[in-house]
Amino acid sequence: MIELDELLMQLWPLAQQHEALVETLPLKQVYGRVLAASQRSAIAVPQHDNSGMDGYAVRCADFLQGLEFSVSQRIPAGQTPEPLEPGTVARIFTGAPIPLGADAIVMQEDTELLDDGRVRFKGLPKLNDWIRRAGEDIARDQVVVEAGAVLNAVRVALLASIGIAEVPVYRPLQAGVMVTGSELKNPGSPLEPGQIYNSNEFVWLGLLKQLGCEVRSVGIVPDNLPDTVAALKSLSDCDLIISSGGVSVGEEDHVKPAVEQVGELRAWKVAMKPGKPMAFGKIERAGRSPCWFFGLPGNPVSSALAFQLVVKPFADLLSGRPLQTADWRARMVPVTAQFDWLRPDTRREEFLRVRVESGVAHLFANQSSGVLTSLDQSTGVVRLMAGQTVAPGDVLPYVSYQELMK
């Protein structure tokens, strides 16, 4: 058996060597993509000191002479002002550049327009009031979005705010999906005796889409070697294939021999529960990085968790995201157990499904790896070492499903 930490350590360098393809796209097409090169600003934002209010640009020292001034110029946004004439004020509007010599803005509400066109101020201005300084948002030459960042709405807007029209981004990962099992049936028709509905495919399609992958699925593959080989071959131009079921040691488990036939296989028993049997391999692609293969257990909970704990970080690295987003272990937080767990697995670490509310973890009663409802009714998992028991009040490391998929 291999420890999960050891497995991740072996897998990640392989994913980091993978050559992700880059394309340059206009900003409006990059939402959800991973940025391939850090972007610096060629300008300061804002470019000029400007007014944060509709009101008057003033020189504070002039107020020694009184509170009434004539208006020497009018500065709407988008206009270049003249220097402020001493002893006068300038009418100014939000976003307009501050005239040379002015050192505060007084908002319109704190003034009164006199009949002779002059302005009376209700009080003394404060130095620098309502002046937005050049570069206070972004300095010239500052890195605004780092390579490896997922381009969400705000980051795309940040790039727009520094005048960048197109950026290099990684191509979406091509992911292939297959689910093995002669007992499987797709939803839409009634089950015959001994059959079960295929749900794993539907978990994965959703999770892979969430990761921004382009997904191709061959659906259900019956338990025999020729069909399993054919399914693998038909997906072998993908960057990544995920397969469920058929990785145990039974006579109906054909996934490992099939991978050996078309590529290279490394099979593991991972010392974790749920999700022990796991297969990993690769299929060479001419002139490109290989197609990576993950054979996950068939049990719905095992397959979903193995995806989130092992495949998702690997896929992150394949698609150019940095190790910080891949390594969910660094994002675990302490929670207080509200339950006891007295019969631990002595050889495998365990991930228990729990519902966390206000830092307190409640155990989902049925921890069987076949119970898909447990994933819906829990918020995440706590991680126990092999042999670890739990008593109420114990503090445990926890990661939510939401955090796992970030």
The CA radius of gyration of the chain, in Å to the nearest whole number, is 31
The CB density around residue 183, as the number of other CB atoms within 10 Å, is 17
For the residues of 130-145, what is the DSSP string, one character each?
A: TEEPTTSSB-TT-EEE
Query: 113 vs 196, which CB is nearer to Mg ion?
Result: 196
**At its nearest, how many Å lie between ligand AMP and the CB of residue 253?**
7
**251 exposed, middle or buried (CB, 10 Å; 0-12, 13-18, 19+)?**
exposed
Of residues 246 through 265, those in contact with Mg ion by CB under 5 A are: 246
Which CB sits closer to ligand AMP, 184 or 229?
Answer: 184
Q: Are 107 and 53 in contact (CB under 8 A)?
A: yes
Residue 297 interacts with Mg ion (CB under 5 A)?
Answer: no
Q: Which is nearer to ligand AMP, 106 or 305 (CB)?
A: 305
| Residues binding ligand AMP (CB under 6 A) | 179, 181, 183-184, 196, 198-201, 244-246, 248, 297-300
CB 247 to Mg ion: min, Å: 9
Residue 320 touching Mg ion (CB under 5 A): no
CB of 287 to ligand AMP, least distance (A): 33
Pair of tokens at residue 330:
């660094």
Residues 173 and 14: their CA atoms lie apart, in Å, by: 16
Nearest residue (CB) to ligand AMP, 195 versus 388? 195
Residue nearest to Mg ion (CB): 245
Instruction: Name the segment binding Mg ion (CB under 5 A); options: 5-13, 180-188, 207-215, 349-357.
Output: 180-188
Q: Which is nearer to ligand AMP, 263 or 297 (CB)?
A: 297
Q: Which one of residues 81, 148, 212, 245 is an interface residue with Mg ion (CB under 5 A)?
A: 245
Q: Which residue has the tokens 């070697």?
A: 225
State the nearest-atom distance from the C-beta of 318 to ligand AMP, in Å.
23
Least distance in Å: CB of 187 to ligand AMP? 11
Comparison of 80 and 189: residue with beta carbon closer to ligand AMP:
189
Other Cβ atoms within 10 Å of 320 Cβ, number: 23
Asked if 158 and 145 count as a contact pair (C-beta separation under 8 A), the reply is: yes
Residue from 99, 181, 263, 295 in contact with Mg ion (CB under 5 A): 181
Residue 179 interacts, among ligand AMP, Mg ion, none and using kind-specific CB cut-offs from 5 to 8 Å, with ligand AMP
The candidate with the shortest Cα–Cα distance to 180, out of 43, 33, 290, 294, is 294
Whose CA is closest to 241, among 221, 274, 218, 223?
Answer: 218
Q: Which H or E element spans position 384?
A: strand 380-384
Q: How far is the CB of 235 from Mg ion (least distance, A)?
A: 18
Q: Which stretch binds Mg ion (CB under 5 A): 34-42, 173-181, 210-218, 319-327?
A: 173-181
What lies within 8 Å, CB to CB, of 49 at 6+ separation is: 97, 98, 131, 132, 133, 134
Alpha-carbon distance of 238 to 172, in angstroms, equals 11
Count of residues making up the chain: 406
* CB of residue 4 to ligand AMP, shortest distance in Å: 19
CB of 298 to ligand AMP, least distance (A): 2
List residues binding Mg ion (CB under 5 A).
181, 245-246, 298
